[in-house]
Structure 1
């Protein structure tokens, strides 16, 4: 094997390593995720069932004590009148026995010699006639314990089906893309039986960091019906983890969470180029003219690309005519160009010009706090489609530019009464 072939083989091996090393990292992250989530699930099962056992034992103990208290109360209510009746009956029996002894002692004598005994016997005889005949009551309590053991089978079924171990939620993240100063997140439903029920809304959460260990600091960043969201509240070159769940129709709780995915954006936020004729704020995203009819405001380099979305917000304004647009080259102006080719402009009256040609469709006029949104999609290598949205109205036109080239964005504001923000 000659040196050239050895060199080629080494180059192939290096190229192979470049491809597989990221996979090794993904596998390691996957193993970490499985083990950490399994440990978390085990701990949750142990805690939940310990709590459940304690609650069941407490309920059983409380029920047992309640039943024993009822038995004691029934015992007291049943025995108290019987004790009274029994005491009264014993007293009567003793009196009758004394009466019999007195009568027998009188009869044992040949002639009644003690008149006082005879008179006493006669008196007691009359009282005996007045004594009621004692009857055994039929309302004596018969205390028993009854329980329907059929409920045990219901309880067994509930306990047998309590809890579940799931490996995937019904909705999963499917794509994360970096955008200027943001991360575009998409998700979709998985193939599961739960899809038989309509989804009411989705909940996307974000956390700082790139691991499943960051679950405690997840916070909501989107709740709604869409299956995508542009997360703007991020720091460039900092990793964030995302997860998503859904709420089905008729349910008040969220589904299981998706597998967390981490991502970062390396593209800084849109910003204006520093210009002494403007006051700049919020990392050069907000600009306000310091003089009337200032020079054109332009981006810090070519920041806009195919597949991006850019949004301009009119924070302050007057009746003057303003222009906002995209351009392939820095034309120095948006309103008085000698060569308008490579420009896509909309003015504050809603007029649209593409490469200097005025279009027949108009957009709503600018208003304070209105948003003008440009979205660029690829059509051909030398042609793109631009969507412009203002106040829920969208206009779409083709633009003959190279899809691989980045573009400038610019604004021309008429006076110091205007203020604009880009994001």
Structure 2
């Protein structure tokens, strides 16, 4: 009886594994379907682009263009056939796995339902289930790993000579750049991209985005960097991003990367309004020290800085320097003070001095000037668990220019998030936070 119970238990476990296996296979089938659709739809779009472009020139160059069009279409067909075949093979493997899992489930249900004198059936079923390797799942390629066909064409080709026709146009199996990471930032999203075509020499990049997968795309960045923080992003709203590149010495842009969607759950960093000495921008992310005689610390509206994030202050303009100037983060907002050089705060002065809980460090950073970016990075390091609970240490890195200081910040209380603030004693200082 005990042996029968054990076999029943093994059979039930095998059936549960088969169900899980079938579910995973179906998920991969859906991913494979998206990959197939990307290849086929991009191939179709590429064919359409090629046909339309060449048809406009057929009146004067019909025979030559027909020959080139045929060659390019054959290239598209060859790339599609070459890349669809492994997807077809993967699909057959997945479908075979689903069929095998369903057959195993049916056999298991029969073996389990016959509870009298079926010890041999249960034993045969469990042995068969062990041989199928229900934990082995085929890999399904991600969309960025399969071709996304496109054509590169030049509309001014009609004015070119006959010997250039044979070289006109090109078909690529995938864009030369792809987005590799979307990372949420307070009120923004950090977009990172990379070159996936080693032979493509990029002169600069172009990043675009749009809200809710509708409407036209907007330019967010054009330049040589491979990352950019897109600000003014509405929290909890989906945005789509794409990037392309311009080859060295060329005017036209490459095909767009595969669309990537992302959103941020973090509310934007804002300065707190209502302080007479500071004028704020409409989005409250820029503070300007005006000529008011009042001296006070301008704090953030909320405690929005959390460990693990990078907080950046960019100095747009500067005024006269004062030893009490400060830019930094703090545990709480305290009124009646004129500087962040106090307990419960870390900051940098306009001279580059760094203060921790009101004490000046030996190490200094470069003096703050127009164009300076000051970054605060903080991570929590576990020191173990005591009777009072987990013991954590805050390791802080402050960077300015090409230098940085690293130190451990000792705090009596350890809040989940911090305020940021600044204080300047002379007018003219303008600081952007993000």
Question: TM-score normalised to the size of structure 2?
Answer: 0.57
Secondary structure of residue in 2 paired with 1:43: helix
Residue 411 and residue 23 in structure 1: after superposition, are their counterparts in 2 closer, same or farther (change >3 A)? farther
Residue 235 and residue 353 in structure 1: after superposition, are their counterparts in 2 closer, same or farther (change >3 A)? same
Paired position in structure 1 for 2:52 = 47
State the Cα RMSD in Å: 4.6
Paired position in structure 1 for 2:356 = 354
Residue 206 and residue 417 in structure 1: after superposition, are their counterparts in 2 closer, same or farther (change >3 A)? closer
Q: Structure 2 CA distance, aligned partners of 1:28 and 1:248?
A: 32
- Residues 42-84 of structure 1 deviation map (CA, whole Å, 9 limit, x = unaligned): 3212212212322314999xxxxxxxxxxxxxxxxxxxxxxxx
1:270 CA drift (Å): 0.9
Residue 158 and residue 338 in structure 1: after superposition, are their counterparts in 2 closer, same or farther (change >3 A)? closer
How many residues end up aligned between the 2 structures? 314
For the 8 Å contact 1:334–1:345, the answer to whether it is kept is: no
- Residues 160-183 of structure 1 deviation map (CA, whole Å, 9 limit, x = unaligned): 765443331222111111111221
For the 8 Å contact 2:339–2:422, the answer to whether it is kept is: no
Residue 159 and residue 302 in structure 1: after superposition, are their counterparts in 2 closer, same or farther (change >3 A)? closer
Paired position in structure 1 for 2:206 = 204
> Where in structure 1 are there 5+ consecutive unaligned residues?
61-153
1:302 to 289, 301, 304: 304
For the 8 Å contact 1:314–1:366, the answer to whether it is kept is: no
Secondary structure of residue in 1 paired with 2:261: strand
Residue 412 and residue 240 in structure 1: after superposition, are their counterparts in 2 closer, same or farther (change >3 A)? same
Q: Structure 2 CA distance, aligned partners of 1:21 and 1:386?
A: 46
2:177 to 164, 171, 177: 171
1:378 CA drift (Å): 4.0
For the 8 Å contact 1:203–1:220, the answer to whether it is kept is: no
Q: Structure 2 CA distance, aligned partners of 1:209 and 1:314?
A: 29
Paired position in structure 1 for 2:241 = 242
Residue 324 and residue 42 in structure 1: after superposition, are their counterparts in 2 closer, same or farther (change >3 A)? same
Q: Structure 2 CA distance, aligned partners of 1:377 and 1:54?
A: 66
Paired position in structure 1 for 2:418 = 407
Matched ranges for 1:7-18 at <5 A: none
For the 8 Å contact 1:287–1:421, the answer to whether it is kept is: yes
> Where in structure 2 are there 5+ consecutive unaligned residues?
6-11, 66-160, 383-392
For the 8 Å contact 1:205–1:218, the answer to whether it is kept is: no
For the 8 Å contact 2:269–2:300, the answer to whether it is kept is: no
1:344 CA drift (Å): 1.8
Give the greater-gyration-radius structure (CA): 1
Q: Structure 2 CA distance, aligned partners of 1:54 and 1:410?
A: 68
Paired position in structure 2 for 1:183 = 189
For the 8 Å contact 1:294–1:415, the answer to whether it is kept is: no
For the 8 Å contact 1:306–1:376, the answer to whether it is kept is: yes
Question: TM-score normalised to the size of structure 1?
Answer: 0.59
Matched ranges for 1:138-287 at <5 A: 162-190=168-196, 192=198, 194=199, 199-209=201-211, 211=213, 217-277=216-276, 278-287=278-287
Q: Structure 2 CA distance, aligned partners of 1:285 and 1:58?
A: 61
Residue 173 and residue 295 in structure 1: after superposition, are their counterparts in 2 closer, same or farther (change >3 A)? closer
Paired position in structure 2 for 1:95 = none
Q: Structure 1 CA distance, aligned partners of 2:55 and 2:307?
A: 56
Residue 418 and residue 387 in structure 1: after superposition, are their counterparts in 2 closer, same or farther (change >3 A)? closer
